[in-house]
Each structure stands twice: as structure tokens, then as C-alpha cells.
Chains A and B, each alone.
Chain A
Amino acid sequence: MTELAWRLTRLGGRSALLSTGLTTLAVVVSTLLLQFAVASNFAFAERAERTEWRDPVAAATGSAVFASAVDFYGGDEITRIDLARLEDDAPAPPGLDAFPEPGEVWVSPALAGLLEGVPDEDFVDRYDGAVAGTVGAEALVHDDELLVVVGRDAEDAAMTVERTNMDMVSPRAIDGFDEGDPSISYGFYQVVAVLATVLMVVPVAIFGAAAARLTVARRDERLAALRLIGATPGQVVRLTLIETVLAAVAGSVIGTALWMASTPLFARIPIDGGPWYVADLWGGAPWMAAVAAAVPVMVALSAVVGLRGVVISPLGVARRVRPKGLRAVRLLVFAVVAVAFLVVSQMLGGGGMLAVAIALMLFAATIAALNLLGPWVVQQLGKLLARTARGPARMLAARRLTDDPKAAWRAVSGVVLAGFIAGSVALFPMLQSDTDPAATETVTATVAAQDAEALAAQATAALAGLAEVELAERGDTLDPDRREWAVTATTSGADVEHVRSILTATLAGDPPEREVDQTLMSNRLIGSIRVGVTVVLSVVFATAAVAAGISAIGSVLDRRKTYRLLHLSGTPQQVLDKARRQETILPLAILGGSSVLCGMALTSPLIGVMGLDVSGVVILAVTLTVGTAAVIGAGAVSRPLLRSIMNDVSPRPD
């Protein structure tokens, strides 16, 4: 049977090869993107794991003291790890060969690069030591990470003063680095990555499945011949299934191989300030095989579902009846799921992992339900247009939309989803603040109340006139009732790092910061979200364009006989092209527009309407332009095929 299927594919002529090729191509693209979506989750987990040593579990009697802080230099954040030995057998931290001795400053390669040519007084003097070497990659989140490990005496103030900032670890005794908590921001990234995966996987899976059905639908003529010579419907179904699965297996293998080969390219996508280690993307290697195996199974299942509707009579006459009306219950399902998602996400505030998981599932369900709603809307649109059409192109387009709304939806669903995503993120303010030093700069360090006076005096002495020092009492940013003391130094922009170095060395605890430094973390987060949104939109667009192209080519192949006869009767190709364009553009305009609004409506209760800012508008505009262009371009790809089919009057076509 397999051999026969293979021969049929191979000898089936140009159009059979073309349609099998299209299925394979669709599966290649789907597999590649699925692998990417799945791997990204493992990659974030790998990164998160490498941050665990920076928050090691406390030990009652440890062999070392651990503390951390966030330092600033210019517009960069630097993660600082302070270590002091308590016992001789203190374990070496990751990335270092041995436990750092007091006065040893170990820097990450990126920090070493940044500090090249920077005078010691501007940076290294903060730590009262000298650079001893570089930290190995196994301790870093990524190659561009700025990290410094400082060896100190256990009595050093930096090893005793409490940190107040949430991102820093106050001094604690530890026994090792093997157990710890991953950084909070990676917890956040991992949740966002799951969200992004859902956004990417749903359309990719739908697309892959749809491609399988396309092949099945295109087979009737050839399968009819098999039925004529006595093949049973079961055999015909099996033959088709084998043929489709062969194509899917080939596509899955090629797609996975492409993914493996392109991991170095994908690794260059910067998230959280730096590119990935290629090994991170291989973190879920066993799952890679699972995805590769799951894809053909998914395609086969979808093909079986598709074949259920294709009853091939031996005469091969595709019987067409009045289009099945899609029921309005689709609208209801979408509304219920979307409302459920909105309600659950509203209650998310105090919820734990379970609430998050339920919200994510409902989010995926909302997108899947969008896929139910889409064809219904397309059909309603078709009916409306059919009533009002005056010209032939509009009438043909409208009847096509009514007749096969699912096909029209397949062609535009990707862009509609992209519009939904763009609409969802358009309301997030995503402007990054400017962090370059100004002419006059002020750095502030928070100090404990009982030491405030003394520390201010020490700082004044250490600065020796380089900056003006003030001591002020102020409310805590998060808790206004808690009073704290701040030492503020005002100096020129050129001297700010020098002043900061002196203050850091003098005042242990939270390193001094400029007001604008507080935005660095949100800047980095915004940068990551921007990249993430771009990546998700790119994936969705790639899917959309390929899906639109494949469905356009598929529909030309399906209707080649009719097109040829229409040409014979003098129908100009322009009319058919125009009808085909309208078939895509009309639903695209209406569904795309409403999906943008829908995305805005869904997320606005989550984030509150903060208003559109420039980046939101840019994302929206680019999404809509690129999306429309991609779909129209993909449709145009099929135009030469249409021309060749229309003009094919060879004596025995097919």
C-alpha cells in the first residue's frame, strides 16, 4: 500500500507533485516554528537556572557570606555578587575556579569589554580591589550580561549592611551555590514565554492541519480513477492518508533539521539585554524529537477528519450542494470563552500558579474560538456582499466567501491574529527613557537612620569637594510611612561615575543611584517585550504569508478545470484576479480591523487604558501594512499559475 501511494505521488504528474510539495512545505514551516516556540520555553528555563546561584539558600552556619547588589555605570546595570570566606572550604561559585579572596574583582567578559579604558577611579575603586579575571559563561545569563563578583572580608561593611532593594540579597551565610531561587524577572519571562508560545502554536498548528486537508481535497479526480478500477473507499482513504503522512514526515524531518541548523540564528534574538547561548535553545532536545514525531500524527488526524467529508464517487463528479450554513452558535462559543478569560484574568491579582494556568488555557481557548468565529463572520460577510454586488468580480468573490468561508478564513486568519496581538500590545506604553548623563547629576544612596549622620560626614570627607553632599529624610518609595535617610551627592555629569565609586566604597548597602537609573530595569523589560512582540508577530506573519500563498495556489489547482473553461468562454484573467483579490481583502479589512479593536478591548481591563503612545501606533501601523502586503503578495504568487492554467489548451489536459 505504501509503495503504491509513493508511486502515485511520484507519477501523479505536475499538479499532484505540486500539491504534495505544498503540503510538505507547509509542514516544514509549521515544524520549524513549532520547534522554535517549544524551544524558547526551555531556553528561558535554562537561563533561569543559571540565575539560581545568585540567590542561594541560607545556611544556619555557613562556610561563606553572600550578598548581592545592583550597581550602575553610565546607562548600564551591573549585577554585583559580594562574597566573603568564613571557612577554608568555602565552595567556589559558578564561573570561578576558586572562592574569591578579598580584593579580587571578577568581571564578566562583557563588563571587561565595557571597562576597557575606564579609569579605576570611575569603577573598579568602588570595590577596593583589582580585576583578577573573568567570570565563566556557566555563571552568566547571556554573553552580554554585566556581572561582577567581588571578594571581601567578612567584616567588610558590604558584607553586613542590609539591602533594602527587592532585587538585592542582603548578606547571609551560605553553604554552597547549588540550591537557590531563580531571579524574579525570569519567572515573569517564563510566563510571558508560555503566552507567546500559545500565540504562535495555535495558528501554526491550525495552518499545518489545514494544509493536510488541502491535499486531501485536491485528490478527488485521481482517487475517482482508483474507485473506478475497484478500490474500496477504505483503500482510497488509506492511500490518501499514507500519501499525506509521507509528505508530513518529510516536512517534519526537514523542518526539524532546519531548526537545528538555524539555532545559531535564532540565538541572536536579544532578550533581557543579550543573545542566547545556542545550547540554551537545545535545552529541550528530547522534546525536539517529540515535536518532530507529533507533527505527522497531528497532520494524519487532521487528514482523517478532512477525508470524512470527501466521499469520492467513481465518476469523480464533485457534488456541490447549497453551502452549509455555519451556525451562529460559533459566535456564542467565542463570546463565552472570551468573557471567561476576561473574568479570570481580572481575578488573577492574588491567584497562584493554578489561576495563571487557567488564565493561560482560557487565553489559548479564546484564540482557538476565534478560529471558530472567523469562518462564520466570513460567511455572513459573503452573504451580505452577494446581495449587494453589482459587478462580476464582487459577485464571484462574495459567492466564494459564502461557499467556502473556511478557505477564505485560512488565508487571512494569520493576519487577523497578528492584528489581535498588535491591538493587545498597542496600549502598553513602551517608550524607553534616556539614560545618558546630564550636565549636572545627582546620585542618592539610602542609609540606615542611626548611621545617617556619620555616613554623610564620611562621604563628604571621602569626596573631598568633588560633589556637594546633602542628608535628607524621605518617605520610602513603596511605603510612605516608613522613613528613610538618603545621602545625596550633586556633581557634574563628567564626574558622576567617580563620585559614585567613592560613595559606593564609603556607603555599604544599596549602591547609590541616579533617579533615572531606576528606569533601567523597566527599560530592559520594555526592550525585551518589544523584541518578543516583534518575534511573535514575525512568526505569525510568516505563517500568514505562507498560509495565504498555499491556499491561493491550492484554490487555483482545485478549480483549474473551471478556470480553463472560463478562459475559453472569454473571461478575462483580470476579472478572476480581481475576484480572488477581493476574496482576501474584504474579509481581511473587516476581520483585521475588528481583531485590532478586540485585542485592545481584551487587554485594556488588564493594564488600564494608558493611551496610545508612539511605539503602539508604530506596531499597529507596521502590523497592518506588512500583514496586508504579505497576504496580497502571497495571493499574487499564484497569478502566474492561474495564467498558465487558463491558457493550457493542450489537446488532453489532465
Chain B
Amino acid sequence: MSEPMLTAQGLRKRYGTAAALDGVDFAVSGGTSVAVTGPSGSGKSTLLHCLAGVIRPDEGEVRLFGERVDTLSERERSHLRRTRFAFLFQFGQLLPELPAEENVALPLMLGGTPRRKALEPARERLRRLGLAGKEDRRPGELSGGEAQRVALARALVVNPAVVFADEPTGALDRATGDQVMGVLLDTVAQLGAALVVVTHDPLIADRCTRTVELSDGRLRRGEDARRGGDFAEAGR
């Protein structure tokens, strides 16, 4: 657990003339969580997209278990995102026409597992997240918290190395949000996976192992350093 699982160095990304990332270093180890905070437009989502191999940085490199991610082709990165990474968003990631269990089974099926076989771990995952008996419901028939737990089940069903969450509780009320966040942190820790959470919410950031704050595409030091947010100490 001491070796960083996912690292990035010197990330730079420009949209037109505006720099979204301006030399960012990053690292996260298995079993730990990092909150990425900062004001709107500070580059949080861009950092997440670069780390997850959604977009390529203009400069710098991203490594997963020491292997370069940013140099892979689009197809290879898609495969990587499907098999080693998992994502959790504010809302809207579930396909409304699929029942919960099929939504969860989808990543496995995309990986080539036949439906019948993919449904078993999917149901198991839902059961463990307290959704037994709701496998057959559609997202619209679930409460916000339940839907978010289904999304979490889907994220975890592939046993990912890294889970990326972008404002995962943004659409939930405080109590439900806390509950979902708790489940998220617990299960990620159980799996030994790393968690990267983009959030505005200081309470959520507080629950993570450490916090990094972005401002104008750069990491801000200071307050965060207190919590050991520096790259050098990341492997704590």
C-alpha cells in the first residue's frame, strides 16, 4: 500500500489560450482516497479526465502501476477505463431503460462476459450495497441515494484499481450524500482500490485520506500541506 498506484507528473493542458492545467503533479495509493477541490474552472475536471485517460495532456505523463497511460491509443485507453478504472458522477450515468441489475452488469458485458454470467456478480454487488430486492427496478423507480448506490455497484463490479468520482453526492441531500460517501469510502478501502474525488464540499474532502486544492490549473499548497497533500508525501 505504500507504492503509489496512479501517478502524474507535470501535467499541462490548454483549451484554446486558457490553461486548464499548468504543471500538476499527483499521486494516489491503493486503499487511500484523495479529494480534489478548488473553485469552478480551476481545472478539477480536466485533471480527473487526464488521470483517467479520457483526454491526453499536452505535456506531462500519467502512469498506472508504473505504466504510461497517456501514450496509449484511444482504443487502449477505452479498454483501460473499462477494466481498471471506474467512474461515479453526480447523476445521469445510469441508462434509464435498463433495470438496475443490467446497468451494473453492463461493464462486464462490454468486456465480453455473457449476460447470464455478468448478472451474478452484479446482483451480488447490489445485495452488498443494500439493494437486494430492487434489482429489477429502473433508475426512475429508485430514490436518488439508491440510484447512486446502483451507480457505485456498477463502478465496483469490475474490481477497479482506481475509482474516479466527480461530485458523487452533488445531487443528493446531506444525509443521503453522507451515507453514499460512507459506502463509497468503505468499499473502496475494502477493495484496496484508490479513490479520486472531485468535490466542492469541504465535509466530503475532510473524509478523504488527503486533499489537494487546485487554483487556476496549479496545485495550491499551504492549508493542504497540513494534511500531507504534497506529492512527496503522497505515499504515506
Chain A residues with CB under 8 Å of chain B are: 317-323, 389-392, 395-396, 399-400, 402-404, 561-562, 565-572, 575, 649-652
Contact = CB atoms under 8 A, between A and B. Distances in A.
Interface residues of B, number: 45
A649 B77 CA distance: 15
Contacts of B139: 320
Contacts of A561: 92
Nearest to A394: B115
Contacts of B89: 565, 568
Interface stretch (B27-35, B93-101, B201-209): B93-101
B95 A572 contact: no
A565 B86 CA distance: 11
Residue among B87, B96, B114 with most chain A CB within 10 A: B96
30 contacts: A318-B140, A319-B140, A320-B96, A320-B138, A320-B141, A321-B141, A323-B138, A390-B115, A391-B114, A392-B106, A392-B110, A395-B106, A395-B109, A399-B97, A400-B97, A402-B97, A403-B96, A404-B97, A565-B92, A565-B93, A568-B81, A570-B82, A570-B85, A570-B107, A571-B106, A649-B45, A649-B49, A651-B20, A651-B46, A652-B41
A568 B87 contact: yes
Contacts of A399: 95, 97-98, 102
A642 to B, nearest CB: 15
B96 A318 contact: yes
A237 to B, nearest CB: 22
Contacts of A389: 115
Given A318-B96, A568-B54, A390 B114 contact: yes
Contacts, number: 104
A321 B87 CA distance: 24
Nearest to A323: B97
A571 B138 contact: no
A571 B95 CA distance: 13
A570 B92 contact: no
Contact of A572 (B52, B75, B98): B75
B167 to A, nearest CB: 13
B225 interface: no
Contact of B110 (A322, A400, A562, A575): A575
B102 A395 contact: yes
Closest 9 CB pairs of A and B: A320-B140, A570-B81, A570-B82, A403-B97, A320-B96, A392-B109, A565-B93, A399-B97, A561-B92
Nearest to A386: B102
Interface string B190-223: 0000000000000000000000000000000000
A505 B1 CA distance: 113
Contacts of B140: 318-322
Contacts of B96: 318, 320, 403, 562
Contacts of A569: 81-82, 85-87, 93, 107
A203 to B, nearest CB: 26
B188 to A, nearest CB: 16
Nearest to B80: A570
Contacts of B116: 390
A395 B97 contact: no
Contacts of B137: 322
A389 B41 CA distance: 43
Given A569-B82, A569-B86, A649 B55 contact: yes
